[in-house]
Amino acid sequence: MAVEQRVKELHHFINGEQVEGSSGRYSNVYNPSTGEVIAQVPLATRDEVKHAIEVAKKAFPAWKKLSSGKRAEIVLKFRQLLKENEEELIEVICQESGKTKEDARGEITRGLESVDLAINASHLLKGEYSVNVGGNINAFSTKSPLGVVAAISPFNFPVMVPLAITSMAVAVGNSVILKPSEKVPMSALYFSELWKKAGLPDGVWTVINGDKEAVDELLENPTIEAISFVGSTPVAEYIYQTGTNYNKRVAAFGGGKNFMIVMPDADLEKTANAFIGAAYGAASQRCMAISGAMAVGKETADKFVAILKEKIENLKVGPYTDNEVDFGPVITMQSKEAVIKAINKGVEEGAKLVVDGRNPSICEVSNGFYLGPTLLDEVKPSMEIYEQEVFGPARIVVRVESLQEAIDLINDHELGNGVTIFTNNGAAARKFQEEIEVGMVGVNVPIPIPVGYHNFGGWKRSKFGEGFMFGPDQARFFTKSKTISEKWIDVDDETTTTFAFPSNNDGENK
């Protein structure tokens, strides 16, 4: 008699230990490669979130007072543990997200860049000092952690994004509460144990699993000082508006419609290879994935589409256990259905279906959430598939007559996350860089994601708030400044009362 396999029950991570949920509400966690339920994650109540916040609040004062050097030692140890346990973490990522092992490894590598920057947080915490600004007064500034801060991360990067939006917050002395996507909670729980092993004091790091109920408590609770969010644009806007309404700092990163401009002078073979990797990697479930090509001129477009068609038809879709696949499934059946709906709508509106990936052959032998790569040509700006972000392997080609037309179209779009141009013409590249209204720009770089020590963030409705996900501005986002004017009175000084506004004239305001 076959033994029924028990679905793993997950927990929260509070005060340095795994804690069972008490709400009685759970969400299924799927293995997208098989379609099977592999775990159930608890969905926290507001009271559970409040408790987690109180624990974090109690842990904050001691963590704040710890020297920046000692905090850096703990972050460094955490980094070492991430590397030592990389293979296990890759397996967890692949199980719950469906990514290939190569993609999961790359995700961890990029996440480590954020940890590396956090190890050097002491450099970013240095204040300013001015001697004798007037009247023998010295002025200087200091940076202090905010207190308890929260991070809300998406499903598409179970490790990289959580590390990117929390590592610096921890390193500069905050207590941090992470609310990962309920679709991929296992990775966050896994590296929570690594924080514990690294020596992070209990309560400084918390993982609370949940849905909108948990998020709303984080947004409204007065103890939470700042929120960092990554996800879709509608939710990013909600997070920003609600969080700021409750007087919090908010950095909310939304989606993108990221185009690759293909100039007539570009090497079309190399450009096509760059397009395919950037467009279809991770089943196109990246906010910085190339959404489509803007080919300049009919001849360029015809040649480029022909090259793409041949290459795309040879891509292989399958489970992460097959080392030969190019990408895996989308995250859920609902996601698959949404992508198919977008493809169908594009065809209805007049787009030309070059490659149809709606029914890949693997679906005949697997219940995983698979879609093959789809390419639609002759897409117009009036079409829905042009306007909206499609979080799955359906990419488009837009034909334009000039670089200026491409720039104008991109600038008119409401999203401004990433964009790139492929050309060997320096003048065209310069014009593009100067005129394009997008936050992250590439020149012959297919996915212009900055390295960890440069700021990451889009423009327009791709980002709400003034914070950044990578880079030195993270330290500014998670700290507050204090400016101090200091003078030591000499017993021989003569003092007089003055009612004039203080100025920097030497000898005044003694």
- CATH code of the domain covering residue 100: 3.40.605.10
Q: Output the pLDDT for position 380.
A: 96
201, 245: one domain: yes
Using CA atoms, how far apart are residues 246 and 183, in angstroms rounded to an integer? 27
120, 39: one domain: yes
Q: Output the pLDDT for position 4.
A: 45
152, 291: one domain: no
59, 157: one domain: yes
Q: Output the pLDDT for position 506.
A: 54
185, 284: one domain: no
In a domain, 505, yes or no: no
Find the CATH number of the domain harbouring 309: 3.40.309.10
Long-range contacts of 86-91 (CB under 8 A, 24+ apart): 88/190, 89/159, 89/187, 89/190, 89/191
Q: Output the pLDDT for position 505.
A: 64
All residue ranges of the chain with pLDDT < 70 are: 1-5, 493, 504-510
Rounded to two decimals, the pTM is: 0.92
In a domain, 502, yes or no: no
Q: What is the DSSP string of 377-407?
A: ES--TTSHHHHS---SSEEEEEEESSHHHHH
Domain count, the chain: 2
Pairing between β-strand 12-14 and β-strand 17-19 as defined by DSSP bridges: antiparallel
313, 241: one domain: no
Q: Output the pLDDT for position 2.
A: 36
299, 232: one domain: no
Do the beta carbons of residue 32 and residue 328 sit within 8 Å?
A: yes
120, 81: one domain: yes
Q: Output the pLDDT for position 67.
A: 94
Q: Output the pLDDT for position 447.
A: 87
Q: Output the pLDDT for position 361.
A: 92
336, 373: one domain: yes
Q: Output the pLDDT for position 101.
A: 96
191, 66: one domain: yes
**Terminal C-alpha separation, the chain:** 92
Residue that finishes a domain, picked among 418, 452, 486: 452
Domain enclosing residue 117, as ranges: 8-126+144-254+462-475
Q: What is the pLDDT of residues 115-126, one digit of tens each?
A: 999 999 998 888
Q: What is the pLDDT of residues 333-344, one digit of tens each?
A: 999 999 999 999
176, 36: one domain: yes
Please list the active-site residues: 287
